[in-house]
Structure 1
């Protein structure tokens, strides 16, 4: 058999998984069992990468002092972001819960190596950003695998990448891609939180082909 054929039931469940993958902000304190966290990392590492370079580096942030420093950095960046919005939007922005840093039992920072030796540069000469895109695919693998197991993931992007790298004392050549809050969600939902709060909604045109 040259390829795997998936059943209609599986395809339906995959569609459900895609719908229920959410950017989670509200977490239970319950820790995710260690074997499951290891399995999620394994699933993330199954992602495609340019030249098979696997440029991603997943970091478990477990030191309380580092977590506190990350939260302070988030608050600093969040205040600066809030100040840039017009008054009407700033009021709505202030009501949004934009991170689960204080609640999530697990913090996972994801960095990438801009010039990985692995892969020997294949596919990066004209588009070097492919190492970043490969890392995003690994994060998405992690996210879908977590969702399938009833585990929530929240991507905190309101952080300064350089400061985050310094707080975590990573290799200075690595670049930050994401800071993830991970844990069991308090209230799973099929609807994005930003849509619930009327901040934004999906645009139907983004689900249509553009023809040229």
Structure 2
């Protein structure tokens, strides 16, 4: 019996390449439609994320209508202006110089939600940590994001928008929680490093300082 369950070397490298080269895309979208075949593959990848109690709490709302995108963009601008006021003068100026969404430029927008009542009130694995269904849906987002990178498709997560705005635009039921609003499309290029890292907004942390052993704060193996 073959006890080596690892992927072949080339396939392993592809997985790590998708992880390391994944980027939050904002200003690199190009005017080219995403084929239904690729979109279906991305949604299937998301749908195969791990989920607590196998409840599969996600839904995927595909948005292509320019008028709907415009409504969402207005909601972004409102939250964006509010957010700018939270920074000191130096950071505010830098913040206002960033492009933080591609809502209108991307051919596909995708709203990913979590239906917290899908399989009833008692769910295996959620009895003690009820938030696990939310985390499961975030795993679906990451699955889609990595699959998109492998397909050469860019994804940008728009988090600067109030949930109440999205709930109103898309007529969401009370049992559904907004997890992610994504912009999806072909790109001119993928940046070599995350844009906020390149701009010096914050540095990449040293992994060695983030890994502990046996107890909090113990960095020696």
Query: Which TM class, normalised by the smaller chain length?
Result: over 0.9
Superposition deviation, residue 89 in structure 1? 0.5
Aligned length: 212
Alignment of 1:42-57 (within 5 A): 42-57=44-59
Retained in 1: the 8 A contact 2:64–2:107?
Answer: no
In the other structure, the counterpart of 2:106 is 104
In the other structure, the counterpart of 2:80 is 78
Superposition deviation, residue 187 in structure 1? 1.9
Pick one of 58, 61, 64 that aligns with 1:62.
Answer: 64
Over residues 52-84 of structure 1, what are the superposed CA-to-partner deviations in whole Å (9 max), with x where a residue is unaligned?
Answer: 000111100123322111000000000000011
In the other structure, the counterpart of 1:115 is 117
- Structure 1's consecutive aligned runs of 4 or more residues displaced over 6 angstroms after TM superposition are none
Structure 2, unpaired ranges of 5+: 216-221
Superposition deviation, residue 118 in structure 1? 6.5
Compared CA separation, residues 17 and 112, structure 1 to 2 (3 A): same
Over residues 159-179 of structure 1, what are the superposed CA-to-partner deviations in whole Å (9 max), with x where a residue is unaligned?
Answer: 101211111112232110110
Q: What is the aligned-residue RMSD (CA, Å)?
A: 1.7
Matched, 1:6 2:10: no
Retained in 2: the 8 A contact 1:17–1:147?
Answer: yes
Structure 1, unpaired ranges of 5+: none
| 178-187 vs 55-64, which moves further | 55-64
TM-score normalised according to structure 2 size: 0.90
Superposition deviation, residue 207 in structure 1? 6.6
